[in-house]
Amino acid sequence: MERLDKFLSASGAGTRSQVKELLKAGRVTVDGTVERDPGRKVDPERQSVCLDGEPLGGRRRVVLMLNKPAGFVTATSDARERTVMELLPPEYKHLDLNPVGRLDKETEGLLLFTNDGALLHRLISPRQEVPKVYYARHEGTASREDAEAFAQGLLLRDGTKCLPAILEPLGPGESRITVREGKYHQVRRMMAARGMPVEYLQRQREGALELGTLALGACRELSEEEIRALEQTQVGISPGI
Ligand code: URA
């Protein structure tokens, strides 16, 4: 049993305050009878809860893409730092969303959230090796030797061995990097290992999904088609990665 207002907002009917208004307006029925009490206990497994006559099937699956700004930690809560959860619009606050993987506090760009546990697991599982593409501004200029070292699988300064990755020099102090694992500070450590400390880092792509023109700090829901494409992301996408 759970509170009716909680169930309604977890089902995507709106924020707690929007749900209160829906109830007040008599738009919600429980087993066919109008219910106005937000605290009424319901059992969604056994009872039929409808909004404007349409049955609510429980918490809807949501996958959100955020263009994360620098200065926010990827965590659901933190005692000292601002978290990425603060960037989600209020209508998503009650949907039990979790960040998919992590971006460092200072890294910007594509960060996904979902309330679908199976999809979350699939996307963060190291076995899935979903390719992730980053844009970096850094000291120095990447050379062909640097690109070859990335392709071979870099050895980091602490002895950690990386999987083969792609380094594409874009110009002086600018590169595109594609990795298919998510070690702590992975890209920053890889670039540092080649003497090119990163000054700015942005994730631009994850599997088939592109950040595109989404504004910094903004988020959008993925379509069912985009979610399907994500689910079908193949292990170890070619070429060479
Ligand atoms: N690699 C990093 O170093 N930082 C990130 O946030 C993501 C990948």
* Whole-structure pTM value: 0.78
pLDDT tens per residue across span 107-138: 999 999 998 888 888 777 777 778 999 999 99
Indicate the pLDDT class of residue 15, thresholds 50, 70 and 90.
confident
Q: Whose CA is nearest to atom 4 of ligand 1?
A: 185
**Mean local confidence (pLDDT), 156-172:** 94
Answer whether 191 contacts ligand 1 (Cβ < 6 A). Answer: no
Residue type, 18: Q
How far apart are alpha carbons 222 and 137 in whole angstroms? 29
**Mean local confidence (pLDDT), 200-224:** 94
For residue 12 the two structure tokens come to: 């995507």
Indicate the pLDDT class of residue 94, thresholds 50, 70 and 90.
confident
Give the nearest ligand 1 atom to 190 CA: 3
Indicate the pLDDT class of residue 161, thresholds 50, 70 and 90.
very high
Answer whether 187 contacts ligand 1 (Cβ < 6 A). Answer: yes
Q: Which residues contact 39 (CB under 8 A, 6 or more apart)?
A: 3, 4, 5
Which residues make beta-bridge pairs with 169?
175
How far apart are alpha carbons 37 and 49 in whole angstroms? 13
For residue 228, report the distance from its CA to the centre of ligand 1, in Å: 26
Give the nearest ligand 1 atom to 203 CA: 7
pLDDT tens per residue across span 102-115: 999 999 999 999 98
- Chain Cα centroid distance, residue 188: 20
Q: What angle do CA 113, 219, 186 make, to 5 degrees?
A: 55
For residue 118, report the distance from its CA to the centre of ligand 1, in Å: 24
pLDDT tens per residue across span 72-83: 999 999 999 999
Q: Is the peptide bond before 197 cis (omega within 30 degrees of 0)?
A: no
